[in-house]
Amino acid sequence: MSHQLTPDLCVIGAGSGGLSVAAAAAQLGVEVVLIERAKMGGDCLNTGCVPSKSLLAASKRAHQMRAPNEFGITPHEPEIDYYAVQQHVKKVIAAIEPNDSVERFQGLGVHVIQEEASFKDKKTIQAGQYEITARRTILATGSSPSVPPIPGLDTVNFYTNETIFENNRHIPHLIIIGGGPIGLEMAQAHHRLGSKVTVLEAMRALGKDDPEMTSVVLEKLRKEGIEILEEVRIESINQDISGVKLKVLMGNESGEIQGSHLLVAAGRKPNIESLNLEKAGIKYNRRGIQVNSGLVTSNRKVFAIGDIAGGLQFTHMANYHAGIVIRRALFRLPAKVNNNIIPWVTFTDPEMAHIGLNEEQAKKKYGKIHVLRWPFAENDRAQAEGKTTGFVKLVASKKGKILGCSIVGDQAGELIQMWSFAVANGMNIKAMTAFVSPYPTLSEANKRVAYTYFQPKLMNPLLRKLIKLLAKFG
């Protein structure tokens, strides 16, 4: 016998976006049902952002111990305890878990159902023994690793981001299929922890980012010893007692690549297969659920947020979507998505971060633009830290409106915050010269790149004549 529930909101998916909606609504006194078929916290906490950044932190420490003797400290090869490294990853997850737990959300007044959800019709959701009819439904089921149709892949053992963090042993030679952010972050982490790593990319590694920025990252990774092969076609995969073997085609030349383990990091697919979207009258395609600018699906009582909405796949994007849904569903405000204000960061070393329009996009939209650069090598803190690789690249309109910014270098993910604020608020570059930056900090690079916008004006002959004239008055 089914139990009937009629909450104000039904949230399907307890990842970052779903939890944000549920927590905010519950704290506003709204009756909420939250349905999750797997682990609370979703991909980000359990198999994505949190474990990957924890592993990267461990590998960075190992790399620092091997660093050349530029600070007068003798380097040495660290001993890697792989089990202890994974215990560090699990410890970090455990520290964050209580914030996303069933107990916390029940304490907020949310009715948590740990079952798989699917639509019975346009208004009704089935989850285990429950039938839920809500005023509004929010779909936040996220995404999962996409497995490419490579002959033989289904016959071999391979990792994805959902399983790689279960490994407690040294990997002699890790082959990674996919040269995007996930693939290259994992490549650098495992290489610094003592593995040989080969990355295979069908097109261009980090192909969604500015080539000027990615060239800095790829050069650094290759110098560390990571093999990154681009424009590679994988024709087949097989496995024997010695490991995995991939037959590949690079240009017109065929070859074989052999390794001990395989990681597939070739994109992600939306988790929509079990929702019975047809019964709800919700349109979708291979990228995800089709939504309008207000995140409303073809069923006007249903929203879709985060990865499942077919756009940028970031945790902060899901949280941004959650805020829009709260404003629309609870306050009836006309909030809309603006993808231009969403930053992204690739957490390699050096990091790479971006916000707004890139150079090519800005030229297409505005015609004449200003492209400004400031190298880390001209920053005193970067010199003191030995972190001089990288630069800030700013794109501004003819009149100085900040259109976008890309940063490659140490702490790029932190440095981009200022530009995210500027783009979101439509600020002019003049505002970025008006604050006082503490010395010495990496953030001074942000101010210095803004100053370069005004340098041509300082060479104006009329301005120089005016300064000379004013000087005559004492």
Q: pLDDT at position 466, please?
A: 62
Other beta carbons less than 10 A from residue 192's beta carbon: 26
Mean pLDDT of each 10-residue bin along the chain, 474 residues long: 91 97 97 97 94 97 87 90 96 97 97 97 96 97 95 96 93 98 98 98 96 97 97 96 94 93 96 97 96 97 96 94 96 94 97 96 95 97 96 96 98 98 96 93 96 76 64 69
Burial of 271 by CB count in 10 Å (0-12 exposed, 13-18 middle, 19+ buried)? buried
Residues in the chain: 474
Residue 413 sits at φ, ψ, to 5 deg, of -65, -30
Residue 27 sits at φ, ψ, to 5 deg, of -70, -20
- CATH 2.120.10.80 corresponds to the domain 3-144+269-340: no
Element (H, E) at 329: helix 315-331
C-alpha dihedral sign at 439, 443, 449, 451: negative
Token digits for 77? 């090869």
**All structural domains of the chain with their residue ranges:** 3-144+269-340, 153-267, 350-458
Q: pLDDT at position 70, please?
A: 79
Cis ω before 440 (30° cut-off from 0)? yes
- Alpha-carbon distance of 143 to 270, in angstroms, equals 4
Sequence-distant (≥ 6) Cβ neighbours of residue 365 within 8 angstroms: 357
Burial of 300 by CB count in 10 Å (0-12 exposed, 13-18 middle, 19+ buried)? exposed
Domain 350-458: assigned CATH number: 3.30.390.30
Instruction: Identify whether the C-beta of residue 306 lies closer than 8 Å to the C-beta of residue 288.
Output: no
Sequence-distant (≥ 6) Cβ neighbours of residue 126 within 8 angstroms: 2, 117, 118, 119, 120, 132
Q: Concatenated DSSP letters for 170-221?
A: --SEEEEE--SHHHHHHHHHHHHTT-EEEEE-SS-TTTTS-HHHHHHHHHHH
Domain 153-267: assigned CATH number: 3.50.50.60
Burial of 408 by CB count in 10 Å (0-12 exposed, 13-18 middle, 19+ buried)? buried
Token digits for 53? 């950044």
Same fold, 3-144+269-340 and 350-458: no
Q: pLDDT at position 470, please?
A: 67
